[in-house]
A = this chain, B = another copy of it.
Amino acid sequence: MTSNELTTHIFEKGSYLCVGLDTDIHKVPSHIFNESSDPVFSFNKAIIDATKDLCVAYKINTAFYESAGLRGWESLQRTVEYIPSTHFKIADAKRGDIGNTSSQYAKAFFETYPFDAITVAPYMGRDSVAPFMQYPGKWVILLALTSNEGSHDFQLQPFANNEFLYEKVIMEAQTWDGPGGLMFVVGATRTEQIAHIRKLAPEHFFLVPGVGFQGGNLREISRQGLTTQGGLLVNVSRAIIYASSQKNFAEEARIIAQQYQIEMSEYLKEVKSN
């Protein structure tokens, strides 16, 4: 998916919501197990059907599928193939290795499975990221500033020129690829930094996880991070997909997703009118 296509979807739908399919089999409502031989896929399918007009992207957290072995990869494959082609499909896989190995990961997520984007860890530097950048229309979403406590251990440590590691990652990576193929992960618990990070990378999309369960503030994130091209994908996982553990889980998921979409459409109007 191109940057222009993503921008068009965002403004047409009034939404930059990404629904995170971090589907834990232990949280799938019990009735689904009686109805399906692949309860994780059946759960995801119901969530996708209930939310697809309200969101522009889905993010599949691969760990939740890998932990189930082959059965999990089958559920992942069915899920990514079920997501409509109008939606931006993110493999939240946090990969990254030396060149010939990253090429194999790129093949896995961009050829074997039809994802549009993959999250990548920056620690090994440019040549570990480059193989993912060689696919036209596919995206790297590079970890910059994450929402967890451990972000203080390295990301928020200052380099010799008083620049934090995450700032160096953002500045360095912009010499690797333009805003049509590279996004950054910016945790939503870092609301106070989003305006600053937007200055560092004025044109790149940010994938913002941590809204909902982790307590990020959607209003602040949006006012500081939105651009005239959209510029944000805000991911919500647990608050939507586990809105209810009953038979009505998909309807409840839709209600929560719609609350986000309505709020997002207001912030998008502010951007348009500025």
Contacts and interface: CB of A to CB of B under 8 A. Distances in A.
A237 to B, nearest CB: 10
How many copies the complex holds: the figure is: 2
Contact of A96 (B69, B121, B162): B121
A148 B162 CA distance: 26
Given A112-B69, A123-B143, A159-B159, A63 B95 contact: yes
Interface in A89-115: 92, 94-99, 101-102, 104-105, 107-108, 111-113
A217 interface: no
A69 B113 CA distance: 8
A102 B143 CA distance: 15
A152 interface: yes
Given A148-B125, A154-B125, A101 B159 contact: no
B74 A70 contact: yes
Contacts of A94: 95-97, 121
Interface in A120-140: 121-129
Interface string A37-66: 000000000000000000000000101101
A120 to B, nearest CB: 10
Contact of A99 (B67, B148, B151): B148
Contact of A97 (B63, B154, B169): B63
Contacts of A154: 122-123, 125, 165, 168-169, 172
A12 interface: no
Interface string A241-266: 00000000000000000000000000
Contacts of A146: 98, 123-124
A116 interface: no
A123 B125 contact: no
A168 B157 contact: yes
B66 A77 contact: no
Contacts of A151: 124-125
A138 to B, nearest CB: 15
A35 interface: no
A150 interface: yes
A69 to B, nearest CB: 4
Given A96-B121, A127-B148, A148-B99, A112 B159 contact: no
A242 to B, nearest CB: 12
5 contacts: A92-B97, A125-B152, A126-B150, A153-B172, A154-B172
